[in-house]
């Protein structure tokens, strides 16, 4: 069981807005940045959001991140079929260890 | 543009040692970055294994620390992973990646393509 808790699944129809949550503790999300990764089937993870809410170059502004206390969220607006993927949150823990959430499988209905 | 490529045996016997190497191209392994290993069992989520700085400093996942060794070879611009006493539970796709640390986080990017290692007799 992962230290960072995500819902195992999420779904939405094209055009909808969906959110994926990530819950941690004071030693990780509560005191460090949150990162989000997108993993398309059969590929390596790709950085989607860094420092809680920053998008790397090339990531559409349909993707946004936020953090409050020991929880974080990834929001995807204007859902598209190509957004169907696994999404992982990540954070550094003050014990000098990296952490990933268990992952959320997003289905576009 | 930094690129990473994993290499090593795809099959390891139970109780043996898993050994992988990650070749770094397009940048120096002696830059101000950490170099990481992450694994993903089939159909499951990502697990951070550990990381190394070019100075040799390391951080390891506490649950794997007793079995993991990450080393760096600056002359070959590559770093390596050794995981001892493997069992079927260590079967996974193993990714190497660059980790950029700042004061409050670690950004993992880019990633290698990953290599599947199966533990079986």
Over residues A58-85, the pLDDT tens digits come to 999 999 999 999 999 999 999 999 999 9
**Contact of A86 with A53, CB cutoff 8 Å:** no
Span B23-52, average pLDDT: 96
Q: How would you classify residue B8: left for phi > 0, otherwise alpha for psi between -120 and 50, otherwise beta?
A: left
Q: Is B46 in contact with A100 (Cβ distance < 8 A)?
A: yes
Q: Of A69, A2, A14, A65, which Cα lies nearest the Cα of A37?
A: A65
**Contact of B69 with B86, CB cutoff 8 Å:** no
pLDDT at A5 over 90: yes
Q: Residue B28: what pLDDT? A: 93
CA separation (Å) from A6 to A3, A23, A71, B20, B88?
Answer: 10, 7, 10, 30, 26
Q: How confident is the model at residue B105 (pLDDT cuts 50, 70, 90)?
A: confident
Name every residue in B having a CB less than 8 A away from some CB of A.
36, 38, 45-48, 51, 59-62, 95, 99, 101-102, 104-109, 111-114
Q: Residue A42: what pLDDT? A: 93
| Phi, psi (rounded to 5 degrees) for B80 | -135, 160
Q: Residue B6: what pLDDT? A: 98
Q: Residue B116: what pLDDT? A: 98
- Measured distance CA(B117)–CA(B95) in Å, rounded: 11
Q: Is B45 in contact with A46 (Cβ distance < 8 A)?
A: no
pLDDT at A2 over 90: no
Give the nearest partner residue to A33 out of B61, B105, B112, using CB atoms: B105
């Amino acid at each position: 069981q992962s230290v960072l808790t995500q819902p195992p699944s999420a779904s939405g129809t094209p055009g909808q807005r969906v959110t994926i949550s990530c819950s941690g503790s004071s030693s990780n999300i509560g005191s460090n940045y949150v990162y989000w990764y997108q993993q398309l089937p059969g590929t390596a993870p790709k950085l989607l959001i860094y420092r809680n809410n920053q998008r790397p170059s090339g990531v559409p502004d349909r993707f946004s991140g936020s953090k409050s206390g020991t929880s974080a969220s990834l929001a995807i607006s204007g859902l598209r079929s190509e957004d169907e993927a696994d999404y992982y949150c990540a954070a550094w823990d003050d014990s000098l260890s990296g952490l990933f959430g268990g992952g959320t499988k997003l289905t576009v209905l | 543009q930094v690129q990473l490529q994993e290499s090593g045996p795809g099959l390891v016997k139970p109780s043996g040692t898993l050994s992988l190497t990650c070749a770094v191209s397009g940048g120096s392994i002696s830059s101000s970055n950490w170099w990481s290993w992450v694994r993903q069992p089939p159909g499951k989520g990502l697990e951070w294994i550990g990381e190394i700085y070019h100075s040799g400093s390391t951080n390891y996942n506490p649950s794997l620390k007793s079995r993991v060794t990450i080393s760096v070879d600056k002359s070959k611009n590559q770093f390596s992973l050794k995981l001892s006493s493997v069992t079927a539970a260590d079967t996974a796709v193993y990714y190497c990646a660059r980790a950029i640390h700042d004061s409050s986080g670690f950004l993992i990017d880019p990633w290698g393509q990953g290599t599947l290692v199966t533990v079986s007799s």
